[in-house]
């Protein structure tokens, strides 16, 4: 019985290793030149990092280890595709993966062994406002938005950190709802705080992040808010904000126009989305083969449009596989949230799951022309340091919430009392 359980526990990790090994071999075969030492070392580093990180997690965590395996599967697909398009970016992505995994474990241990996180709501709000102010003062405009800060050649996107803080703020508020109810109109004040964040995102013209903030807030508000009228107010404010965004910002109007009819603007502002659609159609069911497509025809193929590049070379079935991996991640995340007994951790788990769900829908929906483009990254797959590291931090939070913290505390207390 133990032997059978051991095989079942190790099977996913071994299958993940086999998949990565075959993908790396295929990538090396399709290299136009003989692989150099950097390429071989990068391939070995990816295999070792993913295998060891999954092995260690099984030793230290009693929670849901499959969510980390899903994430490393997505990371591997993204890293291989990025390296295929640009070996220098691929090497940088491996470094970011290592940093992301490190932050995953740091987050996991901090959240697991420090118990005061539910009491720091005001601190989270203060840090959020500080990060917004720093972005407005020091930020640089990219693609119409002011959402990047450059420090000694390293670009940082504070919004990626703020979206994690938003979930902590919401969790802190609703887990201490009885205490906040002692004040007048607590839910209305809280609504004002959240919309002040969205207003600051409007000032930065980062409407993709604003949409994500709204999605996270409305989902958690729907679950935990006692005053149901506030949900209707929230929906109404979202409608007004959307209309204002369309008329105030030219780049929003451009994205709407290219979403409705990109072929009319194929030579200029509709070029990116049309090339994405060409790539999706060229791939067919099984793809043109790793290294045989033309992803460089798509601007920012390694970032916003990596899903299209993957489908072109690996096929629609691989694209469906990526979507299914995300669906399993969402399902397990929501299941963790529903089973978690402690309210603060329950809201964290549901918030992280909603975050991954909304972000994935927005970017994949954008590149297949289901919804207008918003310029955000695909979690774990796209190139980028800030996005990748914060995705691993979010995953570390979800990993902790998958452990039954409350029951473990009770068991420890009972053991101490018996002694």
- Give per-residue pLDDT as tens, 183-225: 888 888 999 999 999 888 888 888 888 889 999 999 999 999 8
Judged against a pLDDT cut of 90, whether residue 144 lies above it is answered with no
Please compute the mean of the pLDDT values over residues 138-144 and round it to a whole number: 69
Please state which of the ranges 65-79, 116-130, 199-213, 324-338 shows the lowest mean pLDDT: 199-213
- Quick check: is 398 in a domain? yes
Task: Write down the pLDDT at residue 336.
Answer: 93
- Quick check: is 104 in a domain? yes
- Quick check: is 260 in a domain? yes
- Quick check: is 419 in a domain? no
State the burial class of residue 150 (Cβ atoms within 10 Å of its Cβ: 0-12, 13-18, 19+): exposed
Mean pLDDT of the chain: 84
Please state which of the ranges 59-63, 174-178, 402-406 shows the lowest mean pLDDT: 402-406
Judged against a pLDDT cut of 60, whether residue 393 lies above it is answered with yes
Tens digit of each residue's pLDDT (9 = 90 or more) over 79-95:
888 888 888 888 888 88
Q: Which residue has the higher pLDDT, 187 or 21?
A: 187
Q: Phi and psi of 381, rounded to 5°?
A: -105, -45
Task: Write down the pLDDT at residue 80.
Answer: 87
Q: Which residue has the higher pLDDT, 254 or 145?
A: 254
User: pTM for this one?
Assistant: 0.88
Tens digit of each residue's pLDDT (9 = 90 or more) over 145-193:
677 777 766 777 888 899 999 999 999 999 988 888 878 888 889 999 9
Give 155's strand partners: 150
- Quick check: is 417 in a domain? no
- Quick check: is 301 in a domain? yes
- Quick check: is 222 in a domain? yes
Q: How confident is the model at residue 418 (pLDDT cuts 50, 70, 90)?
A: very low
Length of the chain: 419
C-alpha to C-alpha distance for 232 and 248, rounded to whole angstroms: 24
Task: Write down the pLDDT at residue 415.
Answer: 40
Domain count, the chain: 1
Enclosing domain of residue 274: 2-410
- Quick check: is 183 in a domain? yes
Q: Which residue has the higher pLDDT, 157 or 111?
A: 111
C-alpha to C-alpha distance for 182 and 275, rounded to whole angstroms: 56
């Amino acid at each position: 019985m133990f032997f059978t359980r051991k095989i079942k526990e190790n099977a996913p990790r071994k299958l993940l290793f086999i998949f990565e090994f075959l993908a790396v071999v295929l990538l090396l075969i399709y290299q136009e030149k003989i692989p150099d030492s950097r390429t071989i070392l990068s391939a070995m580093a990816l295999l070792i990092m993913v295998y060891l990180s999954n092995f260690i997690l099984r030793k230290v965590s009693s929670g849901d280890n499959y969510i980390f395996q899903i994430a490393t599967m997505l990371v591997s697909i993204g890293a291989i595709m990025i390296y295929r398009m640009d070996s220098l970016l691929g090497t940088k992505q491996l470094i970011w993966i290592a940093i992301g995994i490190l932050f995953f474990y740091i987050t996991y241990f901090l959240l697991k062994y420090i118990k005061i996180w539910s009491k720091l709501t005001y601190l989270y709000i203060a840090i959020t406002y500080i990060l917004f102010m720093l972005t407005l003062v020091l930020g640089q405009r990219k693609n119409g938005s002011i959402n990047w800060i450059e420090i000694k050649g390293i670009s940082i996107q504070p919004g990626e950190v703020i979206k994690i803080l938003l979930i902590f703020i919401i969790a802190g508020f609703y887990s201490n709802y009885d205490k906040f109810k002692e004040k007048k109109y607590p839910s209305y004040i809280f609504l004002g705080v959240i919309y002040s964040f969205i207003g600051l995102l409007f000032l930065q013209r980062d409407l993709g992040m604003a949409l994500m903030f709204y999605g996270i807030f409305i989902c958690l508000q729907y679950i935990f808010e006692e005053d149901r009228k506030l949900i209707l107010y929230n929906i109404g404010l979202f409608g007004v904000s959307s209309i204002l965004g369309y008329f105030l910002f030219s780049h929003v109007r451009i994205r709407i126009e290219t979403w409705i009819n990109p072929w009319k603007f194929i030579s200029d502002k509709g070029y990116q989305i049309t090339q994405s659609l060409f790539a999706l159609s060229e791939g067919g069911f099984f793809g043109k083969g790793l290294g045989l497509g033309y992803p460089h025809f798509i601007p920012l193929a390694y970032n916003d449009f990596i899903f299209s590049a993957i489908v072109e070379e690996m096929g629609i079935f691989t694209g469906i596989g990526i979507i299914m991996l995300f669906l399993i991640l969402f399902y397990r995340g929501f299941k963790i949230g529903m089973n978690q007994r402690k309210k603060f951790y329950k809201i964290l788990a549901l918030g992280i799951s909603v975050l991954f769900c909304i972000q994935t829908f927005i970017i994949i929906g954008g590149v297949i022309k289901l919804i207008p483009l918003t310029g955000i990254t695909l979690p774990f797959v796209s190139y980028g340091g800030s996005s990748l590291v914060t995705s691993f931090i979010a995953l570390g939070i979800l990993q902790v919430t998958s452990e039954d913290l409350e029951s473990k505390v009770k068991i420890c207390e009972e053991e101490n009392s018996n002694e």
